[in-house]
A and B are shown apart, each in its own frame.
Chain A
Amino acid sequence: MLKRTFLTTAAVALAMAATGGAALAQEKTKVGFVYVGPIGDGGWTHEHDVGRRAVEEEFGDKVETVYVENVPEGPDAERVMTQMALDGADLIFTTSFGYMDPTINVAKKFPDVKFEHATGYKTAENVGTYSARFYEGRAVQGLIAGEMTESNIIGYIGSYPIPEVIRGINSAYIHAKKVNPDVEFKIVWAFTWFDPAKEADAAKVLIEQGADVILQHTDSTAPQAAAEAAGNVYTFGQASDMAEFAPKPRISSIIDNWAPYYIEQVKAVMDGTWKSEQTWDGIGPGMVGIGEITDAVPAEVKEEALALKDRIASGEYHPFTGPLKKQDGSDWLAEGETADDGTLLGMNFFVEGIEGEIPQ
């Protein structure tokens, strides 16, 4: 008996929350952020939190932001999102790929709450996705790296062999090769998102094997420090600017700049104009920032890099423009053809010239 009354109240309350929760918070827009790491990670989560604070600054009293950090992907994420929705969030940003299915599940239960999921591919009526075309930034890095290397060996630290990382490697390689036909990439997979000590080791190993430019797709500054200790090695900041290592070894960076997007989406929810969209923005709209190119880079190289950046930003040039072949020699893109987003999203091959296999 007790159980039945509990159940009926639960059902009623859930139905109420789904409709009433959002209405309650009308005067103040409430925005939730679910983070996979700690905000003190200095990388991925940190940059999302910078975006959150930008939202607070922009809208002041009209907005209230809440966040939960260190949320494991899976049922915990689902619970945190539900909790935010119950507590009246109007818009929830879920900032890790692994939150994809939980986001969709929770969104079904709260049709009036809007969800924005980072780096995923599933959408719904009230779920949009957003991601950054980091490969555009990689093209600029690749160009600088190709010009700067003396040993013609460029080291690349990857996290896991997933399309996002593979895209970055290909893009960097293509543009390094264009300016320096002799260039060679050495790729090391760290098999971790976050392990500063291992990242430091990976950088040292690459330097020992002759690399004098290091590109990283892991978030800590450990490789920067390793490069600084080694001397004549150049690096690029990743996720955040890592300006503390400028002007050398860090000669430029790719910055995740979520603030404009977050502000825009919050504004859309306030105005009632929010729509479910699949956003994949690059340098042009400012989601991918190129950090200051320091004076360690010769002026003409800097100019060349900035020109490339501008051409990408204006849409005049696509980093994956044919003729391009896959690693096995088969044709991929014909002369002048550009890669479609579908292929890029699922990219699981290297382009011609890169040595080594993608671990499976």
Chain B
Amino acid sequence: MDLSAINPVLLIASLMVAATPILLAGIGELVVERAGVLNLGVEGMMITGAICGFAIAVNTGSPALGFVAAAGGGALLSLLFALLTQYALANQVASGLALTLFGLGLSSLLGQGYVGIKPPPTDRLDIPVLTDLPVVGRILFGHDLMVYFGIALVALVWAFLKYTRAGLILRAVGESHDAAHALGYKVKRIRVMAIMFGGACAGLGGAYISLVRVPQWTEGMTAGAGWIALALVVFASWKPWRVLIGAYLFGGVTVLQLNLQAAGLAIPVEYLSMSPYLITILVLVIMSADKSRAPASLGRIFHASQ
């Protein structure tokens, strides 16, 4: 065993990368849930984003266009969910699960010609002086743009929910759709927009896996990241900054356990892999004593004549 082999700077830098897909998908799902909608189809939207982004990046040679396409693909797929749950008033849990099934199938169909291809590289930030700084340089200034975009998105969502009128309305819709409706807000329209934002974010998260983190296309390559994003939102008790912390924790546990293994420490991997989920449950229990709880209308169907 040689723990000194673990370089904390590199550890932090790589957990930031490992956390980015679930961070993106998680912050999107947070907005959806704050609007009172539970979309369990994150995995399906991520994988769809992964292939849309990959295909467009390969065909155009531009990762940036790829990410745009990924957001579009994810949003388009989430529109299906929005139609089902908001206009056909279908159950959200079942619709979300169906969306995942559909997304996994659709992505493999779309991706049939893209196995074994290398995507164009996504550039890393390289600021002459800053990136070369010891310690902080690698952590703060050495990543690709999507890492910063993810963090910026968290800040934006936080400011949006806290300080803007639109954010207030969104939260009102999530807390009590009947009251919001009585006040004259378009509950369905707001929820559809939130769902599409969630879909776009999930798509970006998926594309980050296929374009940066792996980078290649294989069927089913998100391998459950969408479900972790769902856990993340709960862990964060629906607060944006806590999504960031949670993503680093979830990403960190994976990176840390690999680090410990590589350093020769015999650890029970299965039990360590369980830990983020157990911590999430614990957080849920602690939170129930706290005021910050789930949006009151979460998962409930809204129909105006109710």
Contacts of B112 in A (CB 8 A): 40
B111 to A, closest residue via Cβ: A40
Identify which of residues 211-231 in chain A touch chain B, using a CB-to-CB cut-off of 8 Å: 211, 220-222, 225
Distance of B213 from chain A, by nearest CB (Å): 5
B221 at the interface (CB under 8 A from A): yes
B112 to A, closest residue via Cβ: A40
Distance of B20 from chain A, by nearest CB (Å): 10
Number of interface residues of A (CB under 8 A): 41
Contacts of A189 in B (CB 8 A): 261, 269
B255: which of A41, A205, A357 is its contact (CB, 8 Å)?
Answer: A205
Q: A201 touching B214 by the CB < 8 A rule?
A: no
Which stretch (B7-15, B87-95, B165-173) binds chain A? B7-15
Contacts of B209 in A (CB 8 A): 196-197
A359: which of B111, B262, B264, B268 is its contact (CB, 8 Å)?
Answer: B268
B218 at the interface (CB under 8 A from A): yes
Contacts of B10 in A (CB 8 A): 208
Contacts of A221 in B (CB 8 A): 116, 214, 216
B273: which of A42, A191, A208 is its contact (CB, 8 Å)?
Answer: A191
Identify which of residues 8-49 in chain A touch chain B, using a CB-to-CB cut-off of 8 Å: 37-38, 40-43, 46
Contacts of B111 in A (CB 8 A): 40
Distance of B26 from chain A, by nearest CB (Å): 15
Assembled-state Cα–Cα distance A196/B268 (Å): 22
Assembled-state Cα–Cα distance A220/B219 (Å): 11
Q: B262 touching A188 by the CB < 8 A rule?
A: yes
B21 at the interface (CB under 8 A from A): yes
Other CB < 8 Å A-B pairs besides A38-B108, A244-B117, 14 of them? A38-B220, A41-B115, A41-B218, A41-B219, A41-B220, A197-B214, A198-B254, A202-B258, A204-B14, A206-B262, A221-B116, A222-B214, A240-B116, A359-B266
**25 A-B residue pairs with CB within 8 Å:** A38-B220, A40-B108, A40-B218, A40-B219, A41-B220, A42-B116, A43-B218, A46-B115, A155-B262, A188-B258, A189-B269, A191-B269, A195-B224, A197-B21, A198-B223, A201-B14, A201-B254, A205-B258, A220-B218, A221-B214, A222-B213, A240-B116, A244-B117, A245-B118, A357-B266
